[in-house]
Amino acid sequence: MQFIIRSKEIEISQDLNSYIKKRISKLEKFLKGVDSNLIEVIVEIGKVSGRHRRGEIFQLGVNLRFTGKFFRAETRGESLYAMIDEAQEELEEEIIKYKTKQATMFKRGAISFKKSLGLSSMARFRNSRKKNRSSAEKPLTE
């Protein structure tokens, strides 16, 4: 993974830098089929100035990019470490959702292909939507 860490109005300590890399690197286990050199992580940390009453409010944005896919997580809060954990969990959920959707689409395509070839009568898609008429629906011929 290639990390790019940017900050606005805040200085990032070495401990925070290593914590970011440690937590975000855990996402690599969900990206087994992707070359780790192609994964790019951009972390943006900034101080929010505005309408809050007291304390420092930070904003964290994490972009995860690899081979045509893009995931983003944003959080706001007072604790940088808690925000990093939240962003990591949010990215994890997005990656799992993407992989589940990809697997579902593959299964649907396989079922549709089997049905079109007539290989499986258990496929859930029908070729025609014609209904058999019951005797009550047939017109009377007298």
pLDDT of residue 33: 81
* pLDDT tens, position by position, 60-73: 999 999 888 899 99
Distance CA 32, CA 37 (A): 12
CATH topology of domain 2-91: Double Stranded RNA Binding Domain (3.30.160)
Beta strands in 1-142, from DSSP E residues, in sequence order: 2-8, 40-48, 57-66, 69-77
pLDDT digits (tens, 9 = 90+) for 103-113: 888 888 887 77
